Structure 1
Amino acid sequence: MTGLPKAVMLFAAGFGTRMGALTKDRPKPLIPVAGRALIDHTLTLAREIAPDRIVANTHYKPDQMQRHLQPLGVAISSEQPEILETGGGLKAALPLLGSGPVFAMNTDAIWIGPNPLRLLRDAWRPDEMDALLMCVPVASAFGYDGVGDFTCDQGGRIHRGAGLVYGGAQILKTDGLASIPQKAFSLNLFWDAMMEKGRLRTLSYPGRWCDVGHPAGLELAEDLLKDANV
């Protein structure tokens, strides 16, 4: 299929405040989960789809992130002096990512099941959608106690509501980012514009997913990985 993404953006710039003391001396993506840095679990998924480029943004304790990621072949988009949030961070990284749609992925979750990026790639229809989000049914979301972020219709068109949690993996077209004047902004702003046009779609993840953005999620994630023999 034409119009497939060739680059992966990893969001790794946050302060990790929900982790409390665990992020006092290191950035959240470097916290170990089952003997590996949290971001390395995400990197494994990214490498499995063989992208041309993998880019990560950094802000909090950037020297540690650079020392870890550069030997692994990950390009760094440094956000200094201010953090740019997901939308601003993606916009700032575009010179490294290149033109065309990209995969974008948070680095504070563990996926047990099929590679979410591969599922997104197989379902991507650029003529019909501007972004495709991988969402998780609330019942399959571990370490999460909310009601969800979205709901969807039979055609996969997404709306704000309950039932589906955004899992942190997506494909999206980036050309519209140039029209957003803010330097720091959330991708929610970008999604809302797509939603109004009926161009924001979702997939429901068939496996299990764990939020590792808080301390309790660490033990949950390690238990899930152990049960899955990963």
Structure 2
Amino acid sequence: MTEAVRFPDVMLLAAGLGTRLRPVTETLPKPLVPVAGIPLIERIMANARAEGAKRFVANAHYRADQLLAHFGGLLKVSREDDLLGTGGGVKRALPMLASDPILVMNTDAFWPSGSDAPLARMLARYAGPHDIVLLCVHPRNATGFARSHDFCLSPRGDVTRDYGAPVIYAGVALLGKALFDDTPDGAFPLTDLFEAALERETLFGVVLDAPWFHVGDAAALAETERLLAP
């Protein structure tokens, strides 16, 4: 990618309720919970910045002021008085996102900084406004994920329900703004858009070639920190 091509703006999904991953973090919104000393949201932003991301927007609901204070105004925040879900939260923030397509990233899953550069492969796979490209991970490389898999990935990179290798959705999606045109104005999940793309055969996947950590509970946090320890 040349400098003349704008790297997509990044939407950080950070509006979940508070977490009790461990007692010291009971008063923190989950994206600010430290993992081996670095807040989750900063680890995800580092993954994106390493490949050229410069503009970030995060949605916030629980303790939104803490998120704003942590970044000192360097992060745009879309406040949600009522939770809008992953899809509704992105739709609410679209006016704050200048690029098209955009990258949407969960703030509870990451890969070690510098271990892979999958976003460039996602951008190369994206061909037009009807496409959605998901970052996927093989279950053998995943920590902290309870289900066996989310989808299957064909040898050509098509996401399917039952053909190809079982993969987990790794919490990063590249998609165009027009896909939100016919969606509800209230709460809805981003997976509704994934399912629609799956039906029209425009849902694609790129595999992460690195360990992937999903920090969803105290056990996953402890295991992640153990694996990241020097």
What is the TM-score normalised by the length of structure 2? 0.88
Correspondent of 1:220 among 223, 226, 230: 223
2:64 aligns to what?
62
Asked if structure 2 preserves the Cα contact closer than 8 Å seen for 1:42 and 1:107, the reply is yes
- Correspondence list, 1:34-113, <5 A: 34-71=36-73, 73-80=74-81, 82-112=82-112, 113=115
Deviates more, 1:112-121 or 1:100-109: 112-121
Contact map agreement 1:5 1:171 (CA 8 A) in 2: no
Shift of 1:159: 2.1
Partner of 1:153: 154
Percent identical = 38
SS at match of 1:25: coil
On the 8 A contact 2:47/2:110 being kept in 1, the answer is no
Secondary structure, in 3 states, of the residue corresponding to 2:140? helix
Judged with a 3 Å threshold, the aligned counterparts in structure 2 of structure 1 residues 128 and 153 are, in CA distance, closer, same or farther, namely: farther
State whether residues 31 and 39 of structure 2, in contact with CA within 8 Å, keep that contact through their aligned partners in structure 1. Answer: yes
Determine the structure 2 residue equivalent to 1:133: 134
Does the Cα contact within 8 Å between 1:150 and 1:165 map onto a contact in 2?
A: yes
Pair 1:174 & 2:185 matched: no
Stretches of structure 1 that go unaligned for 5 or more consecutive residues are none
Q: What residue is the counterpart of 2:212 in the other structure?
A: 209
**SS of the residue 2:104 aligns to:** strand
After TM superposition, the structure 1 stretch with the greater mean CA deviation from structure 2, 42-51 or 101-110, is 42-51
Quote how far apart the aligned CAs of 1:206 are.
Answer: 1.2
103 and 226 in structure 1: CA distance in 2 versus 1, 3 angstrom threshold: same
TM-score normalised over the length of structure 1: 0.88
Shift of 1:216: 1.1
2 CA distance for matches of 1:116 and 1:224?
Answer: 21
Which AA in structure 1 matches 2:101?
A: P
Cα distance change on mapping 1:185 and 1:18 into 2, 3 Å: farther
Q: Which has the higher helix share?
A: 1
Equivalent pair of 2:129/2:179 in contact (CA under 8 Å): no
- Find the counterpart in structure 2 of residue 8 from structure 1: 10
Write the distance in 2 (CA, Å) between the matches of 1:156 and 1:223.
33
Is residue 29 of structure 2 the alignment partner of residue 27 of structure 1?
yes
Does structure 2 conserve the Cα–Cα contact (< 8 Å) formed by 1:110 and 1:221?
no
| Structure 2 residue ranges without an equivalent (≥5) | none
Q: CA deviation at 1:133?
A: 0.4
Q: How far is 1:124 from its partner?
A: 2.8
| Cα drift, residue 35 of structure 1 | 1.0
State the shift of 1:207 in Å.
1.0
SS at match of 1:9: strand
Conserved in 2, the CA contact under 8 Å of 1:129 and 1:201? no
The Cα shift of 1:58 comes to 0.4
Distance (whole Å) between structure 1 residues aligned to residue 71 and residue 130 of structure 2: 32
